[in-house]
Amino acid sequence: MKVFTIPLSNENTSLTCYIPDYSDEMPHMKKRRAILVIPGGAYRFCSAREAEPVAFKFLGKGYAAFILQYSLNENAAFPKPLDDAVEALRYIRANAEELYVDKNKVAAIGFSAGGHLAAALSVMGDERPDAQILGYPCILEEIGEILAAPVPSLEKEVDEKTPPAFIFSSAEDGCVPIRNSLEYAKALDSKGIPFDMHIFNRGYHGFSVADPCVFTEEKDWKYNSDNAVWFELCEKFLDRIFGIY
């Protein structure tokens, strides 16, 4: 595997690339699917729990994975973070051949504030992903009260060019109310955009892949562990969008 990081145009932003080696034993992997991972962190930091653990899940399924470090804190005001996401997506597609990526099978996954950015990329970007995956996403303008900067209300931006969506969140999320997910799903439905949505009854905000590597206490993992099924459901969703290979 090749792992390298490239700087992006805005200050303190980068894209870390995880590119599995190509082998003639696995000919379908010469043009593989790709996932752009956008961690959460309230536009104040990029959560490690929603970065490599997510990328490694997709790497294990044959994807090339890319983790975005986007504009934060005093640089978090839009459109800077969106510019970072668009630049990252353009890099992946422009270099698809050498990255062994199918440029028409690039999904973006984001969590919490990263979910806001993944959704913004999907509804406002000059370049858009082929599918969007949103984990307990911030969507509504009002959620900007807890973020580093005000944010656009993305349910208002959904249009006919918006890619299919997979949304998951928890009903007891005490940080980002599920109304964010529900309003976004309503907007997708109004434009005829395909989506899957899964609202789990239990689960802390920030459960990520919901396995032991992302929790410091065993009790926390056990409480959230049922939500780990989102990855299997998401994999099936992407198979429907992209095909098996």
pLDDT tens-digit readout, 133-164: 999 999 999 999 999 999 999 999 999 999 99
Domains identified in the chain and CATH numbers: 2-242 (3.40.50.1820)
CA atoms lying within 13 Å on the CB side of residue 169: 26
Average pLDDT over residues 177-183: 98
pLDDT for 181 beyond 80: yes
- Let me know: does 6 contact 91? Beta carbons within 8 Å: yes
Reading phi first (left if > 0) and then psi (alpha if -120 to 50, else beta), residue 206 is in: left
- Let me know: does 63 contact 32? Beta carbons within 8 Å: yes
pTM to 2 decimals? 0.97
Q: Report helix, strand or coil for 75.
A: helix
Average pLDDT over residues 164-180: 97
pLDDT tens-digit readout, 16-58: 999 999 888 887 777 999 999 999 999 999 999 999 999 999 9
Produce one character per residue of 177-188: b if its CB has 16 or more CB atoms within 10 Å, e if not. Answer: bbebbbbbbebb
> To which residue do tokens 């005001």 refer?
77
